[in-house]
Amino acid sequence: MKRLITFLLIGIIILAGCGQSTEKKSNKSSTQKDTLNISAAASLTDVTKELEQAFNKQHDKVAINFNYGGSGSLRQQIEKGAPSDVFMSANIKDVKILADKDKAHNTYNYAQNELVLIGNSKTDKQDLSQLKNDEKVAIGEPNSVPAGKYAQQFLKDQNLYDNVKPHLVYAKDVRQVLNYVTKGNAQFGYVYQTDLAQHKKNGQTDVKELGKATLKTPITYQAATVSNKKEAKAWMKFLKTKEAKEILEKYDFKV
């Protein structure tokens, strides 16, 4: 009889433990969020924060991690296996390189931008035709930063590249170009219109636009999924919505 009572007590304890374990597991699953890793061009730093807020209104169980940088550098990271579900590039070229390797799918041209020449707010120059020996021009690294490649090509098209080349300083992304000019490490620089607009909205008056770089082909931003996560496809679907387009326009992107 004692032995029977002992077995019954052990069974009750085991069942109670299983119930607690199931309850804990249930509580954990109700609060746990799915992660969406997005590799985004540096020029998207500001707008993606608002895009994230809008997306989470419909997908509140998704936690988004952004990795910002030059599009070429981000593409190389993805090729090497860095965790990424969506690639938001500032060009088409780097997405196509991944697509050709079957590493990018569901491509979508979500925005366009413009390239502008900026300078110190006190400069009286309107172009780069007559630079002083000590004056520097900042551009993104052409091999990894689309804005740098666009700037390089524009200077060549205008027959200015050979004269400007000795004055060039290179940056890891377009935001660093803006920072160089802001801090006086360079007197001039080529940045996206959206970066300059956001700089002004933040109350900064230390740089000004000197002129637009008229390119032969428009600057097109392309995105793609680089994983099979349902959250990645949901983000791409969201980018096509009226709400997402209005947010992009708010930050001076063309859609």
Confidence band of 136 (pLDDT split at 50, 70, 90): very high
Q: Are 37 and 67 in contact (CB under 8 A)?
A: yes
- Prediction pTM value: 0.82
CATH architecture observed for domain 115-213? 3-Layer(aba) Sandwich (3.40)
The annotation places the binding site at: 43, 71, 147, 174, 192
Confidence of residue 14 (pLDDT cuts 50, 70, 90): very low
Using the predicted structure, report yes or no on whether residue 115 has a pLDDT greater than 60: yes
Residue 10 clears pLDDT 90, i.e. is over it: no
Mean pLDDT of all residues in 222-237: 97
Q: Report the binding-site residues for molybdate.
A: 43, 71, 147, 174, 192
CATH of domain 31-112+220-250: 3.40.190.10
- pLDDT of amino acid 32: 73
**Where along the chain do its domains lie?**
31-112+220-250, 115-213
Q: Residue 204: its pLDDT value, please?
A: 83
pLDDT over 70 at 225, yes or no: yes
How far CA 100 is from CA of 79, 94, 120, 255, in Å, comes to: 12, 10, 42, 26
The answer to whether the CB of 124 falls within 8 A of the CB of 159 is no
Distance CA 12, CA 16 (A): 6
User: Which residue has better confidence, 129 or 118?
Assistant: 118
- Residue 118's φ and ψ, nearest 5 degrees, are -115, 160
Average pLDDT on 8-20 reads: 46
Tell me: pLDDT of 27 over 70.
no
pLDDT of residue 120: 87
Helical pair 47-58 and 242-250, crossing angle rounded to 10 deg: 160
Q: Quick check: do 31-112+220-250 and 115-213 share a fold?
A: yes
pLDDT band per the 50, 70, 90 thresholds, residue 126: confident
* 68 vs 5, more confident: 68
Kindly tell me if the per-residue pLDDT of 103 is higher than 80: yes
Average pLDDT value for the chain: 89
What secondary structure letter does DSSP report for 130? S
Residue 122 has what pLDDT?
84
Residue 166 has pLDDT above 80, yes or no: yes
pLDDT band at 31 (very low <50, low <70, confident <90, very high): low
The band of 4, judged by pLDDT with boundaries at 50, 70 and 90, is: very low
Residues 171-222 have pLDDT tens digits of: 999 999 999 999 999 999 999 999 999 999 988 888 999 999 999 999 999 9
